[in-house]
């Protein structure tokens, strides 16, 4: 008889809601993936890489061309934001960048690199749902700090109070899934003070780094010298190039942490598929392929928010990511999970409740909707929501 190592771990709410949406044929705004095609030029780049013979194992840290493209991206983004690139120190492609099979595996590998049995890790909740289980799988203890409705910003006094001599890591995520908030400079100052005081490392989940709105800028931990030396930064090509199914991501960390990260990576992953790495590297030679992402998604966000005007749902702020929170207090007093399920089965629109992202499953009257969809999909969803 096999005894489960993780008796309390269930199926993720993403799988559950997507499955329900498929079963009842609902418009699926639950899981965060686009329903439109990525750029065909990217397909050509990958096909060309295969035809050119890039079909065997890639080097363990990733194809050099792709690591160089990732480093160059930081210069290009900084140039776009500030008009000059003199102040940015891009990560070193050889010693600081590792290509991983997706952001989730990069997160897991970083956690496995740092966390020893009994170590504690601060996680802000609601949180992307892989963090806690990854800590537990490595013998660690997730310690949850609250991001409270409706502003969802950290209470740093709480974070300090939750910290003990066993705390080794704090996981941050901005732009934030599921709430769409983006940290400003003051939050990083508080984080830096916190890390210095308690000597804690940082795992910064920046997979939505290129999706911010209304002139708000994403600040990477890499741009903060007082944090960069103790941080792992995770990004994902899936989010940037509308290819979530390709599962390719990145971990960036200073060389001494990258050396440790690669000790785990070499036996967990070893190497990531070669033609996609080469294809992505060639595609990224044109920086326009990623620099316009905020504008692209701001149009979608604004379109979706406009459509919601004809419903009884309320629109919460959204400064980044491709998720919009909608309040349903005017519509129902059910828990978010019950309402999300009924919205899917009775009204034909699937969304994600937030309580599964919160320890204790505390329910607030909000659901998360993904607007990385064709306008026609958003229109169909809004029509259905208007009838609720
Ligand atoms: C906050 C956050 N981190 C990480 C990931 C995972 O990225 P990937 O699909 O590259 O594993 C996601 C995907 O939804 C996410 O929302």
Domains of the chain, by residue range, sit at 13-31+292-386, 42-290
Q: Do residues 159 and 148 touch, judged by C-beta distance below 8 A? A: no
Radius of gyration of the chain (CA): 21
Ligand 1: lining residues by beta carbon, under 6 Å:
32, 102-104, 128, 173, 177, 205, 207, 236, 238, 244, 247, 249
CA of 364 to the centre of ligand 1 (A): 23
Q: Is the pLDDT of residue 221 over 80?
A: yes
Q: Is the pLDDT of residue 360 over 80?
A: no
Q: Is the pLDDT of residue 42 over 80?
A: yes
Q: Looking at residues 138-144, what average pLDDT do you find?
A: 97
The rounded distance, in Å, linking the Cα atoms of 384 and 211 is 27
Residue 320 is classified by DSSP as: B
CA of 104 to the centre of ligand 1 (A): 6
More confident: 81 or 158: 158
CA of 226 to the centre of ligand 1 (A): 26
pLDDT at position 361, please? 76
Tell me the average pLDDT of the chain: 95
pLDDT at position 148, please? 85
Sorting pLDDT into bands at 50, 70 and 90, what band is 133? very high
CA of 224 to the centre of ligand 1 (A): 23
Percent of the chain with pLDDT over 90: 88
pLDDT at position 86, please? 66
Nearest-atom number in ligand 1 for the CA of 238 is 10
Sorting pLDDT into bands at 50, 70 and 90, what band is 85? low
Nearest-atom number in ligand 1 for the CA of 244 is 9
Which protein residue's CA is at the shortest distance from atom 13 of ligand 1?
Answer: 32
pLDDT at position 332, please? 95
CA distances, 68 to each of 104, 189, 346 (Å)? 22, 30, 50
Topology of the domain comprising 42-290: 3.40.640
The rounded distance, in Å, linking the Cα atoms of 228 and 217 is 18
**pTM of structure:** 0.96
Q: Do residues 197 and 189 touch, judged by C-beta distance below 8 A? A: no
Residues 233-275 pLDDT 10s: 999 999 999 999 999 999 999 999 999 999 999 999 999 999 9
Sorting pLDDT into bands at 50, 70 and 90, what band is 44? very high
Q: Looking at residues 282-293, what average pLDDT do you find?
A: 97
The rounded distance, in Å, linking the Cα atoms of 117 and 130 is 18
Which protein residue's CA is at the shortest distance from atom 16 of ligand 1?
Answer: 177
Q: Looking at residues 296-319, what average pLDDT do you find?
A: 97
CATH class of 13-31+292-386: alpha beta
């Amino acid at each position: 008889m096999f005894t489960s190592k993780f008796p309390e771990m269930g199926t993720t709410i993403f799988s559950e809601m997507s499955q329900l949406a498929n079963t009842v044929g609902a418009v699926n705004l639950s899981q965060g993936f686009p329903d439109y095609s990525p750029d065909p030029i990217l397909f050509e780049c990958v096909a060309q890489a295969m035809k050119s013979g890039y079909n065997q194992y890639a080097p363990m840290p990733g194809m050099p061309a792709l690591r160089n493209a990732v480093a160059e991206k930081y210069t290009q983004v900084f140039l776009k934001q500030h008009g000059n690139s003199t102040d940015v120190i891009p990560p070193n492609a050889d010693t600081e960048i590792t290509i991983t099979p997706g952001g989730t595996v990069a997160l897991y590998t970083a956690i496995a690199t740092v966390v020893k049995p009994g170590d504690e890790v601060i996680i802000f909740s609601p949180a992307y749902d892989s963090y806690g289980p990854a800590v537990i799988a490595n013998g660690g203890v997730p310690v949850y700090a609250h991001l409270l409705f409706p502003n969802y910003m950290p209470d740093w006094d709480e974070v300090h109070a939750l910290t003990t001599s066993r705390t080794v890591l704090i996981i941050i995520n901005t732009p934030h899934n599921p709430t769409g908030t983006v940290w400003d400079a003051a939050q990083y100052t508080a984080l830096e003070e916190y890390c210095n005081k308690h000597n804690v490392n940082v795992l910064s989940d920046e997979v939505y780094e290129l999706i911010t709105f209304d002139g708000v800028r994403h600040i990477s931990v890499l741009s903060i010298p007082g944090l960069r030396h103790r941080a792992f930064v995770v990004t994902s090509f899936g989010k940037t190039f509308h290819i979530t199914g390709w599962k390719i991501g990145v971990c960036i960390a200073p060389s001494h942490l990258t050396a440790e990260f690669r000790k785990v990576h070499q036996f967990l992953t070893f190497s990531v598929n070669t033609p996609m790495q080469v294809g992505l590297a060639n595609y990224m030679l044109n920086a326009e392929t990623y620099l316009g992402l905020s504008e692209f998604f701001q149009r979608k966000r604004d379109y979706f928010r406009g459509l919601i005007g004809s419903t009884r749902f309320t629109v919460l702020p959204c400064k980044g990511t491709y998720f919009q929170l909608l309040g349903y207090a005017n519509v129902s007093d059910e828990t978010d999970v019950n309402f999300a399920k009924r919205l899917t089965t009775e009204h034909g629109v699937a969304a994600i409740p937030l309580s599964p992202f919160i320890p204790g499953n505390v329910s607030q009257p909000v659901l998360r909707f993904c607007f990385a969809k064709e306008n026609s999909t958003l229109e169909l969803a809004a029509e259905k929501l208007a009838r609720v």
